[in-house]
Amino acid sequence: MSTELEDFRAEVRSWCGEHVPADWRAAQTGVGAAEFVAFQRAWFAELHRAGFAVPHWPAEWGGGMGVPEQVVLYQELAAHDAPRLVLAFVGIHHAAATLLHAGTDEQRRRHLPAILDGEIWVQGFSEPEAGSDLAALRTTARRDGAHGDHFVVNGQKLWASGGAYADWCLLLARTDPDAPKRKGISYFLLDMTSPGVEVRPIRNALGDSHFCEIFLNDVVVPAENLVGAENAGWQVAQATLGAERGMTMLELAERLSQGGFGWLVRSCPADDPVVADRLAGFETELTGLRGLCRDLVQRSEAGTAGPADASIVKLYYSELLQRMTDFAAEVAGLGAHTELAKPMSSGWESGAWVLDFIGSWEWTIPGGASEIQRTIIGERGLGLPREPSGAR
């Protein structure tokens, strides 16, 4: 490792020692929504002041770190058990990637600084009958107005993580009902304070209400909030979110390796050879995951990433996470966490293993279930024949 990188590690390590709240896990366990949101905003602001909030953004917008520096940053944040940026996740990753790739200059100037100031985003993609088969979405956007200066949106979105707190929404809606499934969809930026927007929280298996339904009843969206060309929203979503998946996984892989594996090792009996063998296997897989993520990000930046590479990483991470938390829950047992509670600002490897395992299914289903990822890998990565066109 270069001297510059070692100096940067020392800088981040020193900063973490001074700024990561020592008692945040206890303070964030069992809190209400207001306390959770306030803590997340404060922690994001702390990272932003240090220049650590959006290292993957271009330098002109407050980022500019290379991949080696990002890896060091995420390693140290994980090693110091820093809180996750749960509320800012969609904004700093998905919304930013969309705007940087396909947004107008005006859209970028409006929203990128606002995200750094704490603007919260939600993803309005999935619907009751259009989850993994996202192209089957039925929410409609009809161009209206004397000069076609706005769209009127009607429909419903489901599994909108953090929707109850969001200021803006990344919205996919059908603008041409007669076009083939993927060719009649447009991509919008939706102000969540618009009349006709209703958000209803959904209580999940962990007992919280992070997921939400969003109901859209004659919601007016200005035409200037269209991202990319009309009816080209599917292409915008695939291009921006596919590439961004590598960026998000870069951090998540380091978190799982540094924090999650550390929690796991401390939960296991050190003298059991069977357990030791399983731990060695997980450590090997984590090393592979980290290498895959770094390679994907570097090739994405160079424009050489393959069409299925992001799906490979997503599948690898989500199923490894599920197997690790399953094993940890088996070893630790229910007695290790009798209160069955975990901090709201933690991740999916908090050490409350039973809850972590239940929560891990959030990764193998939404965002394209594992079966969908395997189909993408087979068709786009390996060139296998597609299923009959009438089935999709």
Give the residue among 308, 331, 330 at the shortest CA–CA distance from 378: 308
Distance between first and last Cα of the chain: 48
Give the contacts of 78 (CB within 8 A, at least 6 positions apart): 254, 255, 257, 258, 259
The answer to whether the CB of 167 falls within 8 A of the CB of 119 is yes
d(CA 156, CA 141): 12
Q: Is 244 a catalytic residue?
A: yes
**Contact present, 254 and 289 (Cβ < 8 Å):** no
115-119, Cβ contacts within 8 angstroms, sequence gap of 24 or more? 115/88, 115/91, 116/48, 116/53, 116/54, 116/62, 118/41, 118/44, 118/45, 118/88, 119/91, 119/167, 119/168
CB proximity list for 104: less than 8 A, separation 6 or greater: 224
Report which residue type is found at 36: F
Out of 127, 244, 285, 362, the active site residue is 244
Q: Which residues are catalytic?
A: 244
